[in-house]
Each structure stands twice: as C-alpha cells, then as structure tokens.
Structure 1
Amino acid sequence: MSAGRDAAGEAIGRLVPAILDALAVLEHAARHLDPETLAALTQAVGERGSDLGPALAAARALDWPEGLIPVRDCMERAGQAALGGLDGLAGAMAAPDPLRAAYRATRAYGRGCEAIYPLAPFMSAVSRFFLTPEAREDAALAARLSAQPGREGRGTMSLGGPPGSRGAAALYVPEDHDPARPAPLIVALHGGSGDGGGFLWTWLRDARSRDCILLAPTAIGRTWSLQDPALDGENITRLVAQVASGWAVDPARMLLTGMSDGGTFAYLHGLAAGVRFTHLAPVAAAFHPIMASVADPARLRGLPVFILHGARDWMFPPETAERAASLLVQGGAAVRHEEIADLAHCWPREANGRVLDWFLGGGRSPLVA
C-alpha cells in the first residue's frame, strides 16, 4: 500500500504542474488570439511542447489506491481537457476556419479549470493558480479558503441545470463567505458562442482573491436576446434574485459585465429602468446610438460605466467604444473608457483587477479619451 501511495504521490507531483502549465498556455493564447498573429501563435504552441501527455499517460498506467481515486479522476478530466486544447491550438491552421478552430481550442481552458478546481482546498499549487499574483502572497487568505473544504453553499456550483445549460448559470461563492458581511456581486455575460460554465473562469481568480460572489449566466438562446432584451433580461433578474436570497449580497456593489454579445447585452439590460446593477463594464461590445436614446434617463444619470475595447478589435472597431462613451457621457453617465493597444476581439484578463479597483472603489471616474 505504501509503495502504491508513493507512486501515486509522484504521479500527482508530476501531473498537476503539467496541467496548470497547459492551462496557463491556453489562457495566454485566448488573450492574444488575433487573425494577424494566429499563425505565429499556434506555431509557438506546437513547438513549445508539453509535459502533459507523458505525465497523463504515466498516471493512467498506475494502479491507484482507492482513497486517491477521486483525485485521479479530477486530474484525468483536467488533463484530458487541457491536452485537447493544446492539440487543437497546434493544429488550428490546418482547419477550414483556423480562427474559429483556435477559439474552440481555447475553450478547453474552462473545462480544465472546472475539473481541477475541486483540488484547490487540498493542493496549494492548485489554490495559488486560482488567485491573483498579489493574493498568492496572502497566507491568511489561503488559510481561510482551505479551512472548510466541501462546505455547503461555497465554491463553484450550478443554478438551473448543469454548467452551460441554456438559461442556467454557473456560480462561485467564496469559500470563506460570511453571511454577516455582504459580498459584492459580479455578473459576467459570455460572448456569442460561449456559455456561463466556461466564462465563469474568466473572472473566478479575481473574484476569489477579492471576496466577490460571481454569477455567469448562459443565454436562453444561441446568444443573448439582443432583439428582445426582456427575454434574457428577466432570466438574469431571476438568477440574481436567487443568489441574493441564498447568500449575502451587497446591493450597493453589483457589477454587470460581458464580452462581445455579452457586453452588448450588458448595455441593453444594464441601461434599462428598474435594473439593480450599480456598475456596468462592457468589453469588446457593439453599440448603436439608439441604445443611448432609449435608455432610461434617470437610470443613466451618474451611472458608473467602464468601457474596455481593443485597438486591434477586428469584429467591432474601437470607434464603436468611443461613440458609446461619448453618447453615455452626454446622457449623464460617469464613464471611464480604456482602449487597450494590443487587444483584438478577446477578453483582457489583465484588466480584471483595474475593473475591480474601479468597482469596489466607487467607480465614478471621468471619461478617458
């Protein structure tokens, strides 16, 4: 039994770092996907190589002790997802639509994170991966997050169906959430072909580090109901109410953010009368002047809005964000506009911290041209 546990320990020590390294590669690739640099990016992933394949094969060859089989299963699913993502990226240029193939490959990041996250309370390397660089040095935070593994109503879970189900949502509640201390709420809306189960991981590291509850709904249809905002809007309202009834949410700190179609829907829903969100942060979103003209004037006055857009965005040009910022300022909103020089039509993960600084600090920043 001891020899078996020793071999399993060695396999864990080899496989976990390989999984986390592969996830980091997928995360980097998702941030830098761009039609102009796609060929070089996918080539670099292919030439870089990975220890994951051999480590996964070695783990599969072991006769695992019964008590470690759940650990093995988490690593197996995470490793398989991450390896598939790397292979998909490396071979994207051979696909009929290379950019679409590369985007599809990077979605393995969410599946890999979902599979390995249950090990975070027990493995410091996994826990550190799901913290911001600054929070990784906070020993007290690490201790609080791992103090009660498996605590009911904490960590990641689903509302309304399995992760990615239409109209359902993925939810993260900090492991150390205290009902006596209402937490800020982040509601993050996926892009047009995504889902909440995958998009949750775009924000989880920051939410976990900053003690925020994170909700990632999935659109009812193929994408958000841009032509009928009430359809998805009512579902989001219902999901937010469900979270607020089950956990302590701070009603004065509720952020609605989203990417691409999700960012556009953050405008449509977030500017409507009666919506409870205190801050909006659309990213890489489309914006039509009619959105400002039909927005509730009372809602718009003083509303903190942080607009993020890439200078290299090939789907919605940066002028889209400039026009949105100008029109919203004219309507009385408190707008911050940031154009990121090297960003294409991707989520700027490095900006999450700046958005949270703005959101948690009050958010009333002047327009940045």
Structure 2
Amino acid sequence: MTDAADEPAVGAVSQLVPATLKAMHALEFAGRHISPVTLPQIIEAMAGRDDEVEAALALSRTLDWPERLKPVRACLEPAAEAAARGIAALRSAGEAPQPIVGAYRALRNYAEAAQAIYPMAAFLKPVSQFFLEQSARGDADLAARLAAIDPAREKVGVIHAGGPPGTRGAFSLYVPETYDEGRACPLVVALHGGSGNGGAFLWSWVREARTRGFVVLAPTAIGTTWSLMDPDTDGPSIDAMVEHVAGQWNIDASHQLLTGMSDGGTFSYVLGLRGGCRFTHIAPVAAAFHPMMLTFADEARLRDLPVYIVHGVKDWMFPPQLARQAEQTLSQAGAKVTYREIADLSHTYPRDENAAMLDWFMS
C-alpha cells in the first residue's frame, strides 16, 4: 500500500512516465521519416505533441518529493525535459538558417531522454517494455528473467567508457542485463553518422540488444567524423575497443557485425573489406560507395563475405544508385550480398530494419 505522503509523487510518476514515452515515440517517428521534403509535414505533426509531457512536468515541479523517491524524480524529470525540448526544437526548425540541420539537432534530445529514463526500466513496467522489441513485450519468460535481475548488478546495462557519452575517441556500450558469462554473446559494433556520436547512436540498438541478448558497442570517432581517407586513425581505435570488450565479456568470435549509418556505413566498407578484419559480417546503412574501394580490399576477404546493404529510395545525400552499385560490385567480387532498398526511407536511420538485419546476422 502506498504511504499517504507518497501519493502526490506516485501520481506524478503515473503522469510523467506515459507522457514522456509518448513524446519519445513522437521523436522516433520524426527521426524515421525526416527529410528536407517531409520536414514541413513533420513540423506540423509535432503540434501539441509536448502538451502532455509539459503538463506532467509542471505538476511534478510543484511537489515536495519524499526523499526515497527523489532518485525516481532525478530520472523522470530530465527525461521529460529532453523529450519536450526535442519536440519544441523540431517545431521551430523551420525558422533555422538550415532547417534540416536544425531538425537533426532537435532529434539529439531523444538520446538524452533515453539516457535519463532507462534506469527506470528495472522498476517500471512501461519503461521496461519501451526498451523491448514490440514482438517481445508480451513475452512472459523474458519479463520474468528481467524482473529477477538485481538492479545493482555490475558490468551490465548502459556503460560509457573514456568519458561522458559522446566523448571523442571514447565509446558507449550496452551489455544486456540478462548477460550470462557462460554463453558467448554476439557483438554489434554500430558506427554513428557524420557529426554524431556513439553515446547517442547506441540508443538505436538498445531495444533489440535487450530483447535478444547481444552486446552493442558504439564508438565515437576521434575527429568530427570517421577517418574515411585515413583508416589507420579510427581503425586501430575501434579494434582496441573491441579487444577491451572481448577481454571483459564473453563475446562470440563467430558473430561480430560491423554496421553504421551514413559516414559510419561508409567506414564499415572501408574497414570491413580489408584483409585481417575481425568482423564476420558488415551492414552499411545509407552509405556512400565507390568501386575504387575495392582497390584497398582483400580478394580473399571478399569471397563469401556476408554483406547487408540498406538504403532509402528517397536518400537526398547519397543517392540509391551508389548502393545499387555496391551490391553489383561486391556480388561480382564474390561477397554474399543482401540488398534492402526501402521506398519511404530518406537519409536517416531505419530502426525498423534492425530486426531483419539481426535475423540475417544470426541465420
């Protein structure tokens, strides 16, 4: 039974949680469909999307929270603030000198909201389910296994190494709370796009990793983007990160996927086609490709290399012809290429493609 002194704060929680998750869903929708062409419609769609979360925040701020619930407040209010800030910034993106740039910046608030609210997944069912694939939200066995985990367990969950999230040359990591050291875990190394960072891009993968039980490593480039013209800058850094992770957790050497978005996808080609590459699979998304890349590739490495290419028909930065050329060129070189061209995708990350990519990776 709830203590009478706790009732106002519990009421605030019951409003903050669904309002924040709803606002985060709105940001996910915007992030999936954003482009210079669709931006006016997305701005219009954001009208009123922060009303509920702003009202919940206003209520929460008026309360004198009990001491024992202040850690909950310290998660929920920053998450709500970030989600509301992201929606408001999206609505005003049209007034920016470069509206699409303003919109991409607005979407960065999603990662801040996720980072803030995620610790509540161990205690609040709606938050836990938000960070699961939709198909698994009714999985009673998975729910029971998650509920049985000690929230204080070390070396699992979201981990940032080398500095705060997004520190240049550092990395962010997700180890599933259900991690069993007796079972080798698949590893996904996910490379952010230009001007992005691993701390933010990690959240593109946590939902699937938590559901399926694999480790996600999201490095941040040493410079403002990946060293595409000098792979010996970021390449050894990524290798060192993987070595570190493999030294701390039981990683399956036969299932190591290198994937990335935009510049991160291009760098997946650059690293993934070279001889001596440790990754068993590569999956570039919305990436640039040129046949000249094969002059630096290893012929033996290319033979039977599993490659999963994802590109949008509406990509305004790297036209789909580049991806079609990659499919043809790599297939002719002997790689086993799966090509996914998505009709409604622009130059943005399609989180809804993760499940199919992972099914391919683990098949």
TM tier relative to shorter chain: over 0.9
Distance in 1 between residues matched to 2:217 and 2:152, nearest whole Å: 19
Q: Deviations over 1:307-340 (max 9, x none)?
A: 0000000000000000111111111100011100
The 1:267–1:133 alpha-carbon spacing in structure 2 relative to 1, beyond 3 Å, is: same
Letter in 2 for 1:33: I
How many Å separate the matches in 1 of 2:163 and 2:216? 17
Q: Which moved more, 1:43-52 or 1:284-293?
A: 43-52
Shift of 1:3: 3.0
SS in 1 for 2:134: coil
Distance 1:48 1:163 in 2: 27
**Aligned position for 2:244:** 242
* SS of the residue 1:251 aligns to: strand
- The runs of at least 4 consecutive aligned structure 1 residues that moved more than 4 Å come to none
- Give the 5 Å matches for 1:122-201: 122-147=123-148, 148-201=150-203
Once the two structures are superposed, the pairs formed by residues 1-369 of structure 1 within 5 Å of their partners are: 2-147=3-148, 148-361=150-363
User: Identical aligned pairs, as a percentage?
Assistant: 55
Letter in 2 for 1:325: E
| CA deviations over 1:6-33 (Å, ceiling 9, x no partner) | 1111000000000000100001100000
1:44 to partner: Cα distance: 1.3
The one-letter amino acid of 2:283's match is A
* Residue-by-residue CA offset, 1:42-74 (whole Å, 9 max, x unaligned): 111024453000101110111001011110010
Q: What is the CA-CA distance between 1:272 and the residue it aligns to?
A: 1.3
Q: CA deviation at 1:178?
A: 0.3
> Normalised by the size of structure 2, how large is the TM-score?
0.98
Preserved contact between residue 22 and residue 50 of structure 1 (Cα < 8 Å): no
Alpha-carbon contact 2:176-2:214 (below 8 Å) kept:
yes
1:258 to partner: Cα distance: 0.2
Question: How far, CA to CA, are the matches of 1:161 and 1:355 in structure 2?
Answer: 30
Give, in angstroms, the shift of residue 341 of structure 1.
Answer: 0.2
SS in 2 for 1:151: coil
Q: Which residue does 1:365 correspond to in 2?
A: none
Shift in Å, 1:185: 0.3
Cα pair distance change 1:47/1:124, threshold 3 Å? closer
The secondary structure found in structure 2 opposite 1:343 is coil
Counterpart residue identity of residue 207, structure 1 = A
Q: Is the 1:4–1:63 Cα contact (8 Å) retained in structure 2?
A: no
- C-alpha distance after superposition, 1:72-109 (max 9, x if no partner): 01011111111110100111111111111111111111
Give the superposed CA RMSD.
Answer: 1.0
Moved more, 135-144 or 76-85: 135-144
The question of whether the paired residues in 2 share the 8 Å contact of 1:304 and 1:334 is answered with yes
Question: What runs of 5+ residues in structure 2 fail to find an aligned partner?
Answer: none
State whether residues 270 and 293 of structure 2, in contact with CA within 8 Å, keep that contact through their aligned partners in structure 1.
yes
Point out the more displaced range, 1-10 or 319-328. Answer: 1-10
Change (3 A) 1:297 1:330: same
